[in-house]
């Protein structure tokens, strides 16, 4: 089960995330669980595979905001990189980044 401890071990900047949540641990955990319960990251992968870069940017941008606010640093990092590339609609190979993000997401879900 996900907890402050497990998130710390995962590499999240829990202190920073908690500060944004007025140091309310259960509220913080509720939000993290909320992030893990949606399938946006799959939608992102889908959009990239379909070369729908506009949609991909919107999703990446949204994910970046959520992850960053919760200070889930390991997953935030590849998503930020993707967002910046997608902002310019760069038609590059996103597979490494999306794989990394998916791996981090899976790691989080296992906590």
For other proteins, the binding residues in 3-62 under the rule CB under 8 A are 19-22, 24, 27, 31, 34-35, 58, 61-62
Residues 6+ positions from 34 with CB-CB distance below 8 Å: none
Using alpha carbons, select from 6, 2, 4 the residue that is nearest to residue 23. 4
At its nearest, how many Å lie between other proteins and the CB of residue 7?
15
* Site for other proteins contains 109 (CB under 8 A): no
For residue 35, what are its two tokens? 């992030």
| DSSP reduced 3-state for 59 | helix
Residue 67, classed as helix, strand or coil, is helix
**Contact residue for other proteins among 12, 60, 71, 82 (CB under 8 A):** 71
Residue 5 or 15: the one with the smaller Cβ distance to other proteins is 15
- List of residues contacting other proteins (CB under 8 A): 19-22, 24, 27, 31, 34-35, 58, 61-62, 64-66, 68-71
């Amino acid at each position: 089960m996900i907890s402050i401890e497990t998130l710390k071990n995962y590499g999240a900047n829990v202190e920073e995330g908690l500060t944004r949540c007025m140091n309310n641990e259960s509220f913080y955990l509720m939000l993290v669980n909320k992030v893990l319960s949606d399938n946006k990251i799959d939608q992102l992968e889908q959009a990239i595979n379909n070369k729908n870069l506009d949609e991909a940017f919107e999703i990446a941008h949204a994910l970046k905001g959520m992850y960053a606010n919760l200070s889930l640093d390991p997953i935030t990092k590849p998503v930020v990189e993707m967002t910046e590339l997608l902002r310019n609609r760069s038609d590059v190979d996103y597979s490494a980044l999306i794989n990394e993000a998916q791996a981090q997401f899976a790691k989080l879900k296992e906590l």
